[in-house]
Chain A
Amino acid sequence: GAGVSQSPSNKVTEKGKDVELRCDPISGHTALYWYRQSLGQGLEFLIYFQGNSAPDKSGLPSDRFSAERTGGSVSTLTIQRTQQEDSAVYLCASSLVGAPVRFFGPGTRLTVL
């Protein structure tokens, strides 16, 4: 595709359930980022994948959060045992390593009831 895509666009889940959010980066982009933004808050960095290097997981808020990137392309962010405070828009971005991060996906709006 021409841009970063994310799915689903909206996800409503019940507290305690696991969710998986998907990000398809721009083809050839070796750097991939996950962020989340709670209502009225700023952008919170979650995790950064860079090529074959070990990901920077320093932003993950708890061990309920994990992410993987298969084959250097698609990434999945998994939240286990969701809590109401996990409700937010989850954004993905990709870039060439060393280049400005210009391309953000449309986000997945997660609502935990």
Chain B
Amino acid sequence: DAKTTQPTSMDCAEGRAANLPCNHSTISGNEYVYWYRQIHSQGPQYIIHGLKNNETNEMASLIITEDRKSSTLILPHATLRDTAVYYCIVRVANQAGTALIFGKGTTLSVSS
């Protein structure tokens, strides 16, 4: 069973904010939400992760709903180089952690 649901594709204009949604309605209390991306022909790149509080780093912001059943990754000013497949993953992150499983992700296309 897929733990997350993401739209297959999204478009965004360069310079605008890209808001990528993810549903994880069966998330457990000890599971974190992780976001990765893969730019064409490159390896995966970690973006951000969070448990229940909103998080921000130099790449993006992560907004998690209060019930933790969904989240949104925000790229505040998308550039052409942000065109990639974005993966939302839920995973336990403790000593008995589980494998990091990538789903199909959202293909984000940023255009000028």
Give A contacts to B, CB under 8 Å: 31, 33, 35, 42-45, 48, 50, 53, 56, 58-59, 91, 93, 97-102, 104-107
Separation of A98 and B91 alpha carbons in the complex (Å): 10
A33 CB contacts on chain B under 8 angstroms: 99-100
- Closest residue of B by beta carbon distance from A4: B43
- Closest residue of B by beta carbon distance from A107: B43
- Closest residue of B by beta carbon distance from A89: B43
Closest Cβ–Cβ distance, residue B29 to chain A (whole Å):
16
Report whether B103 and A42 are in contact in the complex, using a CB–CB cutoff of 8 Å: yes
Separation of A45 and B93 alpha carbons in the complex (Å): 17
Query: A97 and B97 in contact (CB under 8 A), knowing A43-B44, A104-B43, A104-B44?
Result: yes
Closest Cβ–Cβ distance, residue B90 to chain A (whole Å):
13
Query: A45 and B95 in contact (CB under 8 A), knowing A100-B49, A104-B43, A107-B43?
Result: no
Closest 5 CB pairs between A and B? A48-B99, A43-B102, A104-B43, A102-B46, A56-B99
A42 CB contacts on chain B under 8 angstroms: 85, 102-105
B34 CB contacts on chain A under 8 angstroms: 100
Which one of B87, B93, B104 lies within 8 Å of A98 (CB-CB)?
B93
Closest Cβ–Cβ distance, residue B6 to chain A (whole Å):
12
B94 CB contacts on chain A under 8 angstroms: 98
Which one of B38, B43, B49 lies within 8 Å of A106 (CB-CB)?
B43
A31 CB contacts on chain B under 8 angstroms: 97
Closest Cβ–Cβ distance, residue A88 to chain B (whole Å):
13
Closest Cβ–Cβ distance, residue A38 to chain B (whole Å):
13
Separation of A65 and B104 alpha carbons in the complex (Å): 23
